[in-house]
A = this chain, B = another copy of it.
């Protein structure tokens, strides 16, 4: 079978026999909740296994001894708890299990809160923060607790303000497509609601079944639809937030254009809860696409991947909704761990690309992607490829992209970096890190490092560098850091593309931001929260 025929066979035609490698294959999972360290489609599986539940999570305070509890913060008293009880439902360590609020879902970070507050209204949040401010009680806002950098759980005894109980959709206007909802609405709930209205939430990510809309906004989540619908800075029209002193900032506009002074809501998008607690969001939601296509193809050089990307943007144009890169190593790992039949027969290629289109007209979209793929294969930009014939096949192709983070945990541990790099050099980081580990004798069949894997949202210049290891070895860490950060700094990349800083990356922010910018950030934090200015560049707790 020649590569050309592979694509030809896959292109939809009446009566065409679906190639066997496009049949649905269920992803074998290890039993843990599947949610990668990068944003992706959700694959729901069984709950956390008993085994992983039993494992004691190390206290963040122990893992990060450099972060000391600020002595200026007061300790919680029973009078405080009684006061909070008069405001809203409360969970306290005396009578409730607070484990789920103290620990992140990856079980990497564990705080020591003794109190969880569940406000039911913006007024509740305001009362809480006003009281905390006056009493010098530290607070950490918590959404769906799906973050990847430890920003949503306490470090010490900060009070958790959980937004779980603020989960109403406030309004939706079918003419403009503008949704207003409470902070704690789960992303999938919002999207399901919008589906019923023929609209789509302009953000999609792996944790959609758990994450909160306001958490997405507070962390400026990127995810899968950014290439098509742009960032939250463009789609969020308004934010209602409570400032550290309890002031309610009502910037919950439903207007696409409003040039009346500074765009205050923008400061809250991506501020990770350090300037206030977002209590509601207004966002513009496009019409839901009627048709999707997913293609998967192999490419031999990174230059040709870039060429395919330029042509996808030009030829698929307005319907291109994902352009995902996976290197050959990542696909070998998925095949090895899951035992699935690979989507493409024939010789392995160095890179694989998943392209998704979403549009309004099936006939037009099918025609565009068919012609695009045929042209790429004819002029040998790509080696081979398949085009999914139905939703099941689409999901299967996606699983070869989405399954990567999960399977890389197979050997023991994984060093993970979520970075942005100018496109031309996107993959060079993987090659340079691999060369460095080989040079130091750390990578190989009987060595600590299994391999170096690169994949990501290529359309957004967002690479996920993952290094699966068989065991912990401090030499690996020394080889990787600060090398990776310095490498990114030299290319003016970002050390955190979409995951944020949280606890995990706050010490490394200077690799992506200059001292002037960090000075302005510190000063803005001090401005919004003058009682508790940030001792470090960015802090995960609000006040």
Give chain A's interface residues, CB within 8 Å of chain B: 173-177, 198, 219-220, 222, 226, 230-231, 233-235, 247-251, 253-264, 266-267, 269-271, 275, 286-287, 289-290, 306, 309-310, 313-319, 359-361, 364, 367-368, 420, 422-424, 457, 460-462, 492-501, 505, 509, 512-514, 516-518, 520-521, 523-524, 527, 537-538
Contact = CB atoms under 8 A, between A and B. Distances in A.
Given A261-B513, A267-B267, A423-B173, A318 B360 contact: yes
A247 B516 contact: yes
A498 B256 CA distance: 10
23 contacts: A220-B259, A226-B256, A230-B235, A233-B263, A247-B516, A249-B520, A255-B461, A256-B420, A256-B460, A257-B457, A257-B460, A258-B497, A259-B496, A260-B496, A261-B537, A262-B520, A264-B521, A267-B267, A289-B317, A318-B360, A361-B368, A364-B367, A524-B527
A457 to B, nearest CB: 8
A246 to B, nearest CB: 11
A256 B462 contact: yes
Contacts of A496: 258-260
Contacts of A460: 256-257
B422 A257 contact: no
Nearest to A509: B260
A361 B364 contact: yes
B249 A175 contact: no
Contacts of A314: 198, 287, 360
A260 B317 contact: no
A341 to B, nearest CB: 33
A286 B270 CA distance: 24
A494 B253 CA distance: 9
Given A251-B517, A310-B174, A257 B420 contact: yes
A352 to B, nearest CB: 19
Contacts of A505: 260
A287 B317 contact: yes
Given A253-B492, A259-B270, 13 more contacts: A175-B310, A175-B424, A198-B314, A230-B230, A231-B256, A259-B496, A262-B275, A262-B524, A263-B266, A263-B269, A315-B360, A318-B319, A360-B368
B512 A258 contact: yes
A535 to B, nearest CB: 15
A462 to B, nearest CB: 5
A248 B516 contact: yes
A262 B518 CA distance: 9
Number of copies of this kind of chain in the complex:
2
A469 to B, nearest CB: 26
Given A173-B423, A516-B247, A260 B501 contact: yes
Given A495-B260, A523-B527, A316 B360 contact: yes
A61 to B, nearest CB: 23
A518 B261 contact: yes
Contact of A317 (B220, B234, B361, B461): B361
Contacts of A423: 173, 175-176
Nearest to A316: B360
B516 A233 contact: no
- Name, among A262, A317, A524, A527, the residue most crowded by chain B CB atoms within 10 Å (CB to CB): A262
Contact of A259 (B498, B517, B520, B524): B498
Contact of A270 (B173, B262, B509): B262
Contacts of A271: 262
A424 to B, nearest CB: 6
Contacts of A262: 267, 270-271, 275, 520-521, 524, 538
A517 B249 contact: yes
B420 A255 contact: yes
Contact of A231 (B220, B234, B517): B234
Contacts of A260: 494-496, 501, 505, 509, 512-513
Contact of A521 (B176, B198, B261): B261
A523 to B, nearest CB: 7
Given A233-B233, A361-B364, A422-B176, A264 B310 contact: no
A359 B259 CA distance: 29
Contacts of A313: 177, 286-287
A359 B230 contact: no
A3 B492 CA distance: 59
A462 B527 contact: no
B226 A257 contact: yes
A180 B117 CA distance: 46
